[in-house]
Amino acid sequence: MQPYDVIRSKRDTKLLDSRSIPADTRRRILQAGRMAGSAKHSQPVRFVVVEDAALRQALAACGDFTAQLAAAPLVIALVVLPGSGQHDPERAVQFDAGRAAQNMMLAAWAEGVTSCPNTMHRNEDAARLLGLPDGCRIAQVLLFGYPAAGDSGRPARSRLPLDEYVHWNRWGE
Amino acid sequence: MQPYDVIRSKRDTKLLDSRSIPADTRRRILQAGRMAGSAKHSQPVRFVVVEDAALRQALAACGDFTAQLAAAPLVIALVVLPGSGQHDPERAVQFDAGRAAQNMMLAAWAEGVTSCPNTMHRNEDAARLLGLPDGCRIAQVLLFGYPAAGDSGRPARSRLPLDEYVHWNRWGE
């Protein structure tokens, strides 16, 4: 696929099959996250790859819609460090985490691996499970895997038309 | 470039030349932002393309490191709607804005157009300039353009080694 086709065709899904992800693909996913830019080059995002089965099970219980974490072929928690030296650090680190997440999910999708972010509704419990230092929190937990048979990885959730997304110069114009 | 090469080679820079961006490239940049996923498919991000010269000048004065906005070939404010129906909406919309931004900046870079997010330190002033509805705020303002002559678009800012980004199962492991 061309880069633009990767970007526009990527859909979030948690419907995965059990095929494992090759080590070199996994490495490119992690590198893609590392290469995402950040405010003032602060590099505030870290990745915890959760492979331990009991730990995944426990993590899956920290969100309301996260049962799939227990069995996903690849689970990566995006951890944000306490913002420092940034304006509005709490917002800045979440924005930067989103940038890293998108890099990772696009690098995966370019190789046919689909993915989805997962909110940890009980964030402090999840942080404790992963042994995060004080002040760190989990932005989202990403799951990755090949699309389940019968699922194209592109569920038919339409987007608002482009005209509703875009304004010119001022809101409403 | 292959998709992975686009992702790993993208660097943020504000050093642009004055060449304008073709309309079809601009359209793909906007589409890429539209196609980014969001929490619960809430689609909370909007794009204000700022073309008016006086408005850009005024916007450039709303940040501390944003003088380049006045003359950049393409300026797009990423606006986040008030979070609704989401857990932890303030964080969720910033994460989703980061996803949309990365899609847009990668779609641009795939066509040789570089970019950089800009923080609006005086966010309320900037929101007023763009006539945003109550409760909306600007996540970041993206500038886009071709790299300035003598600037490769890839300044030599190194990243921490991958080992410092990645932990296995638990922090520190």
Please state the three-class secondary structure of B77-112 as a single string: EEEECCCCCCCCHHHHHHHHHHHHHHHHHHHHHCCC
- Predicted pLDDT at A158: 87
Closest CB to A162: pick one of B34, B45, B94.
B34
Give the ipTM.
0.96
The band of A173, judged by pLDDT with boundaries at 50, 70 and 90, is: confident
Residue B13 corresponds to which tokens in the numbers above? 């820079």
Flag if A30 and B166 touch (Cβ within 8 Å).
yes
Percentage of chain B modeled with pLDDT above 90: 90
Nearest to B129 by CA among B68, B81, B83, B63: B63
Beta carbons of B98 and A103 less than 8 Å apart: no
**Closest residue in chain B to residue A170, using alpha carbons only:** B130
Whether pTM > 0.90 for this model: the answer is yes
Helix (H) or strand (E) holding B166: strand B166-168
CA gap A113, A142 in Å, rounded? 12
Q: Do A169 and B51 touch (CB under 8 A)?
A: yes
* Residue A6 in tokens: 């990767």
pLDDT beyond 60 at B154 = no
**Helix/strand/coil for A118:** strand
pLDDT of residue B4: 98
B84, pLDDT greater than 80: no
Predicted confidence band of residue B5 (pLDDT cuts 50, 70, 90): very high
Neighbours of B106 (CB within 10 A): 25
* Average predicted confidence (pLDDT) for chain B: 94
Residue type, A68: Q
Contacts of A108 in chain B (CB under 8 A): none
Query: Cα distance from A150 to chain B (closest Cα, Å)?
Result: 21
Tens-place pLDDT, residues B27-48: 999 999 999 999 999 999 999 9
Inter-chain CB proximity A34 and B97 less than 8 Å: no
Nearest CA in chain B to A56: B169
Q: Any residues with CB less than 8 A from the CB of B126 and at least 6 apart, and which?
A: B59, B62, B63, B77, B120, B138, B141
Residue with tokens 């990745």: A47
A28's tokens: 């490119």
Residue of B nearest to A81 (CA): B165
| For testing contact with chain A, the best of B2, B4, B74 (most A CBs within 10 A) | B4
- Residue B116's closest CA among B159, B145, B82, B87? B145
CATH number of A3-165: 3.40.109.10
Q: What is the DSSP letter of B65?
A: S
Identify the weakest region by mean pLDDT among A89-103, A155-169, B10-24, B100-114.
Answer: A155-169
The mean pLDDT of chain A is 94
> What's the pLDDT at A84?
76
pLDDT higher than 70, residue B156: no
Confidence check: pLDDT of A153 > 70: no
Closest CA to A58 of A127, A10, A159, A9: A127
Nearest to B91 among A46, A94, A107 (CB): A94
Measured CA to CA, the distance from residue A60 to residue A69 in angstroms comes to: 5
Smallest Cβ–Cβ distance between B35 and the set A7, A96, A99 belongs to: A7
Mutate to test the interface with A, among B81, B165, B173 (most CBs of A within 10 A): B165
Model confidence over A63-120: pLDDT tens digits? 999 999 999 999 999 999 998 778 999 999 999 999 999 999 999 999 999 999 999 9
Q: Which residues of B touch A36 (CB under 8 A)?
A: 102
Confidence of residue B151 (pLDDT cuts 50, 70, 90): low
Q: Is the pLDDT of residue B22 over 60?
A: yes
Residue B46 to residue A161: CA distance in whole angstroms: 12
Side-by-side strand order, sheet with B166-168: A114-118, A137-145, A74-80, A45-49, B166-168
**Tens digit of each residue's pLDDT (9 = 90 or more) over B160-171:** 999 999 999 999
Cβ contact B34–A87 (<8 Å): no
Q: Is the pLDDT of residue A152 over 90?
A: no
Contact B49, B75 (CB under 8 A): yes
Of A30, A37, A101, the CB nearest to B99: A101
User: B87 and A7: CB-CB below 8 Å?
Assistant: no
pLDDT band at B129 (very low <50, low <70, confident <90, very high): very high
User: Which pLDDT belongs to residue A134?
Assistant: 95
Q: What is the pLDDT of residue A156?
A: 59
Kindly state the average pLDDT of the residues A125-138.
97
Whether the per-residue pLDDT at B64 is higher than 60: the answer is yes
Q: What's the average model confidence in pLDDT over B23-30?
A: 98
Contact B47, B119 (CB under 8 A): no
